Amino acid sequence: MTEKKRIRFISIAGYTILFLLVFYVSSIGPFNAKMMHSVRESLDSGKIDPIFTFDNFDAVYAPLTGAANKIPFLEDLLYDYLIFCSESIYPLDHAGDFELLPVPE
């Protein structure tokens, strides 16, 4: 492999890893929104979506939630992002009298 190809391979690999990390972090909001929507739907219909469960959420996003539990600023930021995604994707779930859970201090 020539030096030019090696540099190109390393830069493509670096950008790929960076993209995947950004995608992983940003996917927590839509996943949480779908999971909470599925929970609300299952209360009405009795059908439970096997993919969007609390167990899967905990398994996939344990590093993010663990970091958020240890860093208060990150916890507030993550909480706001989850609410933003949930309200943006499923606005009807938040219509009417919807009370946010208090953020622990």
Q: Poorest-confidence range of 32-36, 48-52, 60-64, 92-96?
A: 92-96
- Averaged pLDDT for residues 48-54: 81
User: CA-to-CA distance for 98 and 72, rounded, in angstroms?
Assistant: 24
C-alpha pair distances (Å), 53 with each of 8, 35, 37: 40, 6, 11
pTM of the model: 0.75
The reported pLDDT for the residue numbered 102 is: 54
* Structural domain includes residue 30: yes
* Structural domain includes residue 14: no
* Structural domain includes residue 17: no
Determine the structural domain holding residue 30 and report its residue range.
Answer: 26-92
- With H, G, I as helix, E, B as strand and everything else as coil, classify residue 31: helix
* Structural domain includes residue 48: yes
Closest C-alpha among 71, 38, 68, 43 to residue 56: 38
pLDDT at residue 103 greater than cutoff 60: no
pLDDT at residue 49 greater than cutoff 90: no
* Structural domain includes residue 63: yes
- Averaged pLDDT for residues 60-83: 91
Total number of domains in the chain: 1
* Structural domain includes residue 10: no
* Structural domain includes residue 16: no
C-alpha pair distances (Å), 36 with each of 21, 66, 73: 24, 20, 23
* Structural domain includes residue 67: yes
- Averaged pLDDT for residues 64-85: 91
